[in-house]
Amino acid sequence: MKFGTKALHAGIFPDPSTGAVMTPIFQTSTYAQDEPGVHKGYAYARTRNPTRDALENNLAALENAKFGRCFASGMSATETVIKMLNPGDEVVCSSDLYGGSYRLFTKVFSKYGIKFTFINMKDTSTIEEAITERTKLIWVETPTNPMMNIIDISAITSIGRRKNILTAVDNTFASPYLQNPLDLGADIVMHSVTKYLAGHSDVIMGFLCTNDPVLDEQFGFFQNSSGAVPGPQDCFLALRGIKTLHLRMQRHCENGRKVANWLRSHSNIEKVYWPGFEDHPNHDIAKQQMSDFGGMLSFVQKKDTLEQANKTLSSFKIFSLAESLGGVESLVGHPATMTHASIPREQRLKIGLTDSLIRLSIGIEDVDDLIDDLEQALG
């Protein structure tokens, strides 16, 4: 089955009791049992829910995964992966990471004796130096948020395999339409379903998938033990959003390309970060591992001050100034004070995330209107 067909049909069947074509919202916390322990596969909704089952199977199919599990947020999916580790274990992470992941790693899990090393993975040769005999996991985000760096997934996963270390990829920015890390050797893929997958800025949800039954069993154990599961209404909304993922992504990419090129030729713009440019440092890797370059980009103006950035950020009329990304509507964000505020300033500056950097999530509107809005905001 090709991607668009999978988005609509994989894991989704008419409801056996009524024939309903759309997966029903099973709004129940529990299920009747015929006798103790004898039931139809569903005992309690934290453990399993048929609406969630359909979504998990559908999402797993999109990532070419054998197993998938949904969580109450992207952060709870991430947390589940780290919970598999033990005190003393180490994780090597890409240095420019979503601020919430950085906060979870450094402020929550470091208290439990897990050590996180952040390195620039643009050049994969640095990874071997950061790995110790205690390293159990490599955590990668590509394209990175918000610097749009590209990390070579195949190169990282082959180092991981050689050293017997798991590799997890946060695939939120690309979505499974553009990139499938398990096919490139990753052990685990994580998504903030909140973004492109659900696609309409109306759901918070996370997802983990793998081809390894042992890993999946552990994810299921934590999913049930900790209980950070999404409700059936949210699963229904995500299922509905995914039906148009391929169409939305085509438009996100098309609009992203036009906006990136337009911004680059604007006289007030100093630099645009977008992996589709031929002179992007890892453009060739992006071309190999992604089928297009997505709708996310960042830029810095020639007048590189916080005041100028604030002035621009408050002038948009169509772009909403808001956290998040990947929805149908265009959003503009200021990583230094919004999504990445939890990263110390010196750490941010080291990765090029200056106080004036602006991030755009390009939606599926008519691109001419988006460019007009940028023109007046930058004017």
Binding site for ligand PLP (CB under 6 A): 73-75, 98, 100-101, 141, 145, 170, 172-173, 192, 194, 204, 206, 324
Spatial separation of the C-alpha atoms in residues 230 and 216, rounded to whole Å:
17
User: Dihedral of CA 277/331/316/339: which sign?
Assistant: negative
Q: Which of 77, 100, 85, 84 minimizes the C-alpha distance to 229?
A: 77
Select 194 or 255, whichever has its Cβ closest to ligand PLP.
194
Select 68 or 378, whichever has its Cβ closest to ligand PLP.
68
170, 187, 234, 355: the active-site residue: 170
Select 206 or 232, whichever has its Cβ closest to ligand PLP.
206
162 classed as catalytic: no
CB 28, min distance to ligand PLP, A: 25
Select 250 or 324, whichever has its Cβ closest to ligand PLP.
324
CB 153, min distance to ligand PLP, A: 15
CA angle 332, 329, 201 (to 5 degrees): 95
What SS3 class is residue 132? Answer: coil
Spatial separation of the C-alpha atoms in residues 193 and 68, rounded to whole Å:
12
CB 354, min distance to ligand PLP, A: 19
CB 121, min distance to ligand PLP, A: 15
- Looking at 45-189, list the stretches that DSSP marks H as alpha helix, in order from N- to C-terminal side: 50-62, 74-83, 99-103, 125-130, 153-162, 175-178
46, 115, 243, 350: the active-site residue: 46
Spatial separation of the C-alpha atoms in residues 207 and 238, rounded to whole Å:
11
369 classed as catalytic: no
6, 69, 98, 122: the active-site residue: 98
290 CB-contact burial (10 Å; exposed 0-12 / middle 13-18 / buried 19+): buried
Select 308 or 342, whichever has its Cβ closest to ligand PLP.
342
Q: Which residue is nearest to ligand PLP (CB)?
A: 74
Spatial separation of the C-alpha atoms in residues 166 and 187, rounded to whole Å:
6
CB 102, min distance to ligand PLP, A: 10
Are 312 and 377 in contact, with CB atoms under 8 Å apart?
yes
CB 360, min distance to ligand PLP, A: 14
Select 336 or 367, whichever has its Cβ closest to ligand PLP.
336
CB 144, min distance to ligand PLP, A: 8
Strand 269-273 and strand 206-210: pairing? Answer: unpaired
Q: Please state the length of the chain.
A: 379
Residues 6 or more apart from 23 whose CB is under 8 A from it? Answer: 12, 15, 50, 51, 54, 55, 236, 239
195 classed as catalytic: yes
CA angle 234, 22, 210 (to 5 degrees): 55
HSE-up of residue 110 (Cα within 13 Å, Cβ side): 11
317 classed as catalytic: no
Q: Cβ–Cβ contacts within 10 Å for residue 212, how many?
A: 16
The residue with tokens 């691109």 is 367
Select 53 or 141, whichever has its Cβ closest to ligand PLP.
141
52, 69, 195, 348: the active-site residue: 195
Mind telling me the catalytic residues? 46, 98, 170, 195
